[in-house]
Amino acid sequence: MHHYTANLSYRVQIFLYSLLLIIIPTTLLSISAATKNASEIAAEYSNSMITILSQASLTLDMLLEDAAKIADMPLLSDDIRRAMVTNYQSDYLSYAQDSTMFRYLFKQTNRLNSNLVTCVFENRYDYVFDYNIINASQQKQIMETINQTHTLAAESPNHTYYAPLQRSSYASSSKSVLPMIKILYDGYDFKEIGVCYAEFDFKPVEKILLSAHTSENTLMIYNTMNQLTFSTDEGLYSASAENTELLHTLTDFTRSLPSDGSIVTRKITLGNTTYLINGCINQTTKWYLLQFADNQLLTQVYRKNFFSHSGIFILSLILGLILAVLISGKLTNSISRLCMEIDSMELNSMELNSMELSSPKLNASKAVPVPDQGKGTIDLSVCGSNKELRKLVSSFNQLNQRLVSSLQQNYQIQLDEQKMRNQMLQFQINHHFLYNTLNVIKSLADIHNIPEIEKIAVCMSDLLRYNLEKFPIAHLEEELQQVNRYLTIQNIRFPGKFIFDCNIPGEFMNLQIPAFILQPLVENSIEHGFSCMESNCYISISCNLDDSGLHLLVADNGCGIPENILADIRKELSEGTLPRTASSASRSPEYKHHSIGLRNIHQRLLSHYGKGVGFCIESMPGEGTIIDITIPYTRISG
C-alpha cells in the first residue's frame, strides 16, 4: 500500500512539475526565444558586415606594410646607406654607379612586390635615385609632391604619409595608384638622410573590396579630406536627391569616428528606410572606411521568425504535456528498479585500490593484474523494455570497464617511463665516454703541437655538451656561441672559404629561445647553399624589431633553392608533414634532409611560442637565401 501511494505521489509530482517547469516557462521562453533568435540573426549579419570591414582595413594595412618595406633598404644595405649620405658634387661617376645600383635593387624589389609602380629616393644632399620614371615631366611632378608633403610625412606616424589616390597616366595603362612619402633616418646617428617616394598599384585592394560587395551592402572609402574616393556602388556617385542626403549623412558619420581605429556601428533612418552603418579609420592611411546596408531585410526576418517559432513552441508544449502524462507510469517503475539495483550492487573498488600502481618493484615483463570486469555491472533486465534506460545502464557499465582499463594503461605507462629513464641514464653514460675520448684527442694534439686538432676537439666537446645540457631552452648568446664553434671547425677544414657576420645588439643576448635553432640553419647554408662554391661564402645572422615581433635573420649568398623545391618546403612547413608527391619522391636526399631539418626547427618553434611565431624562407637561385624567424618579443621600457 505504501509503495502504491509513493508511486501515485510521484506521478502527481511529474504532472505538477510539467505544469510549473515546462508549460508555463516554455510558453514565455518560446516568445523570448523567437525574439532572441531574430536578434542573433541581426547580430550575426552585423558581425559579418563588421568582419568584411575589418578585412578590408586589414588588407589595406597588409598592402601598405609590404609596400613600406622598400623604404627599409638603407637599413638592410650599407651601400644604399652610404649613397644616401654622400655628396656627389665632385664625383659624378660614383653618382652614376650608385644610380645603377639603385635601379638594380629596385628591379629585384619589384619582383617580390609586383604592386610597385614607381620609386624615388632623394638623399641628404638632394641627389635623386629613381626607378620606372617615364619622362622629366613625371619626375618634376613627383619632386613637387615630395616638397609639398615633406612636412606632413615628418609629422605622421612612422614618418610616413599616404597621399590621396591618383590616376596614373604614366603607367602602361591608366590605373589607380597610392603615393607614399617616408622620411628616412640613419640607423647610426638617427639623423634624416633623405626621402623615399613610391607609388603602388591600388587595384588589388579594389578587387578585394568589390569581391566583398553584395546586393545588400556597400563599401566606401573617404580620404583624409573627407571626400568620397571609392565606392562599390557606382550609383552613389550620381547627384540624385536621395543619394545627396545619404552621402551627406555618411559624411557627418565619418566625423564622429574615433581615431584609434575601432569600428563604430550605428542605425540611421532616412524617410522610410533604415540603414545599418559600420565605419572605422584605417590606422595606416587615416582614411575613413564605411559600410552600410538596408535594414529592411532584417526586420522581415524578425517578424517571420517570431510567428513561426511561436506556433511551433505552443504545439510542442501541448504534445509535451500529453507525453509526460502517458510515460510517467511506465517510467516510474523502471526508475525505481534501477535505483534499487544501483544501491544494492557491490562495486569492485576494493580490488581496484589493491592494485599497487605506483610500486617500483613491479617488473614491466610481468602481466599487470586486471580486476574482474564482470563485477560492478548492472543487469539490463532491470530496465524492462525501456530503451533509454538500457542505454544509460550500458553506458554506465562501459564507463566502469574503461575505468579499469585506464588504470591498467596508466600503470603500464609508469613502467614505460621508468624504463625510459633508465635508458636515458645509460645514454648519458655513453656520452661521458665521448667527452673523455675528445679530451684524450685534445691532450694528444697538445703534446704533438697540432693546434688545429686541439681546437676541433674542444669545439666538438662543447658542441656535444651543449646539445645534451641546453635542450630545450637556451639564451640567444649561447646559440651564437654554438654557431661560432661550428664555423670554427668548418674554417679549419676549409681555410678562408667562409665569412661570418653577426649583427645582434647586446640587449637581445639574454633572450631565451628553443635550443639548437641557429646552428642547423647555418649548417644548411654550408651543406646546400655553398656546395658549388669554393670561396667568398658569406653567412650573416642579424635581427630587427618591429610591431610583429623580433626577426632573427639568417642569410647567405649561396646558390639558392630552386623554385619547385622551395614551394615543396613551404608546403611541408605549412602542413607539418612530408607530402607524398611525385616531385618530393624524386627529390635528392640532400634536399630531403634539408627540408626535414627546417620542419623540425619550425615544429619546435610552434611548440614553444604557439601561433605567434613566423617562419619565412625567401630564396633566389644564384643569389642566396634568407630565413626570417619571427618570435614574440616585448621591449621593456627603461
CA dist 594 to 491, 528, 574, Å? 22, 8, 16
For residue 615, how many other CB atoms are within 10 A of its CB? 19
Highest mean pLDDT among 55-59, 263-267, 557-561: 557-561
Q: Residues 292-316: what's their mean pLDDT?
A: 67
This prediction's pTM: 0.39
Cell of 536: 667568398
Q: Could you tell me if 457 and 438 are in contact, meaning their C-beta atoms sit under 8 angstroms apart?
A: yes
- Cα atoms in the Cβ-side hemisphere of radius 13 Å centred on 355: 20
Query: Lowest-confidence range among 51-65, 192-206, 474-488, 506-520?
Result: 51-65
Does the structure show a pLDDT above 80 at 473? yes
| DSSP run (H or E) holding 614 | strand 614-620
By the 8 A CB rule, do 348 and 372 touch?
yes
For residue 191, give the 3-state DSSP assignment. Answer: coil
10 Å CB burial of residue 629 (0-12, 13-18, 19+) is buried
The identity of residue 121, as a single letter, is F
Amino acid at 303: R
CB 208 within 8 A of CB 232: no
Fold for 213-294, please state it. Answer: Beta-Lactamase (3.30.450)
Whole-number Å distance between alpha carbons of 522 and 626: 11
Q: Can you tell me the mean pLDDT for 503-514?
A: 91
Write down the mean pLDDT value for the chain. Answer: 75
Residue type at 152? L
For residue 104, what are the CA distances in angstroms to 75, 307, 590?
Answer: 17, 69, 32
111 or 3: whose pLDDT is higher?
Answer: 111
Nearest to 599 by CA among 579, 582, 585: 579
Peptide bond into 472 cis (omega under 30): yes
Query: Is the distance from CB of 56 to CB of 221 less than 8 angstroms?
Result: no
What's 77-204's CATH class? alpha beta
Do the domains at 213-294 and 470-631 have one common CATH topology? no
Phi-psi region of 498 (alpha: psi -120 to 50; beta: other; left: phi over 0): beta
CB 416 within 8 A of CB 422: no
Place of cell 557627418: 252
Could you tell me the end-to-end alpha-carbon distance of the chain, in angstroms, rounded to an integer?
84
CATH code: domain 470-631 is 3.30.565.10
User: What percentage of the chain carries pLDDT values higher than 90?
Assistant: 10
Query: Which grid coordinates are listed for 503?
Result: 649583427
| Helix or strand (DSSP H, E) at 427 | helix 387-447
pLDDT of residue 186: 82
- So what's the pLDDT on residue 172? 52
Give the domain ranges of the chain: 2-65+298-344, 77-204, 213-294, 360-468, 470-631
Three-state secondary-structure class, residue 622 = coil
Give Cβ neighbours of residue 452 (< 8 Å, ≥ 6 apart): 445, 492
H-assigned helices in 448-534: 451-469, 476-493, 518-524
Q: Measure the CA–CA gap between 93 and 446, rounded to whole angstroms.
A: 55
pLDDT band at 606 (very low <50, low <70, confident <90, very high): confident
pLDDT (mean) for 50-68 = 76
Mean pLDDT of 132-145: 85
What percent of the chain clears pLDDT 70, i.e. is strictly above it? 67
522 SS3 class: helix
Which DSSP string do the residues of 56-86 spell out, in sequence order? HHHHHHHHHHHHHGGGGHHHH-HHHHHHHT-
Other C-beta atoms lying within 10 Å of the C-beta of residue 43: 12
Q: pLDDT tier at 187 (50, 70, 90 boundaries)?
A: confident
Hey, what amino acid is at 444? L
Q: Which of 257, 240, 241, 244 is nearest to 291 (CA)?
A: 257
Residue-level pLDDT at 363:
44
The per-residue pLDDT for 599 is 83
Strands 537-546 and 498-503: parallel
Confidence of residue 267 (pLDDT cuts 50, 70, 90): confident
Higher-confidence position of 545 and 33? 545
Tell me which of 605 and 352 has the higher pLDDT: 605
Of 110, 118, 100, residue with least CA distance to 178: 118
> Pick the residue with more confidence: 269 or 488?
488
- The answer to whether residue 470 scores a pLDDT higher than 90 is no
| CA separation for the pair 516, 514 (Å, rounded) | 7
Q: What is the pLDDT of residue 344?
A: 62
Q: Give the pLDDT score at 165.
A: 76
pLDDT in tens, 358-394: 444 444 444 444 444 445 576 666 666 666 667 777 7
Residue pair 208/57 in contact by the 8 Å Cβ criterion: no
Band the pLDDT of 417: cuts 50, 70, 90. Answer: low
Q: Which residue has the cell 660614383?
A: 94
Is a pLDDT exceeding 60 seen at residue 296?
yes
Confidence of residue 354 (pLDDT cuts 50, 70, 90): very low
Helix (H) or strand (E) holding 118: strand 116-123
Q: What strands, in cross-sheet order, belong to the sheet with 264-270?
A: 228-231, 217-222, 288-294, 273-281, 264-270
Question: At 499, is the pLDDT very low, low, confident or very high (cuts 50, 70, 90)?
Answer: very high
- For 36-40, 68-72, 178-182, 444-448, which range has the lowest pLDDT when averaged over its residues? 36-40
Q: What is the tens place of the pLDDT at every residue in 525-540?
A: 998 889 888 889 999 9
Region of poorest pLDDT, from 142-146, 263-267, 275-279, 385-389: 385-389
- Nearest Cα neighbor of 515 from 607, 630, 618 is 607
The answer to whether 130 and 146 have CB atoms below 8 angstroms apart is no
For the chain, counts of helices (H) and of strands (E):
17, 18
Is residue 568 scored above 50 in pLDDT? Answer: yes
Q: What SS3 state is found at 463?
A: helix
* Model pLDDT, residue 11: 53
The residue with greater pLDDT, 247 or 339, is: 247
Residue 584, pLDDT above cutoff 50: no
Which amino acid would we find at residue 188? Y
Q: How far apart are CA 261 and CA 254, in angstroms?
A: 12
- Give the pLDDT confidence score for residue 349 in this predicted structure: 45
DSSP 165: P
Give the residue with greater pLDDT, 539 vs 91: 539
DSSP for 500-518, written as a single string? EEEE--GGGTT-EEESSSH
338: which 3 cell numbers? 534501477
The answer to whether 511 and 544 have CB atoms below 8 angstroms apart is no
Exposure class string for 78-101: b at 16+ Cβ within 10 A, else e: eebbebbbbebeeeeeebeebbee
> Which region among 13-22, 120-129, 174-183 has the lowest average model confidence (pLDDT)?
13-22
**Which residue in 438, 492, 500, 425 sits closest to 465, CA to CA?**
438
Q: Between the CA of residue 626 and those of 127, 539, 543, 552, 621, what are the distances in Å? A: 31, 10, 12, 10, 12
How much is the CA Rg of the chain, to the nearest whole Å? 36
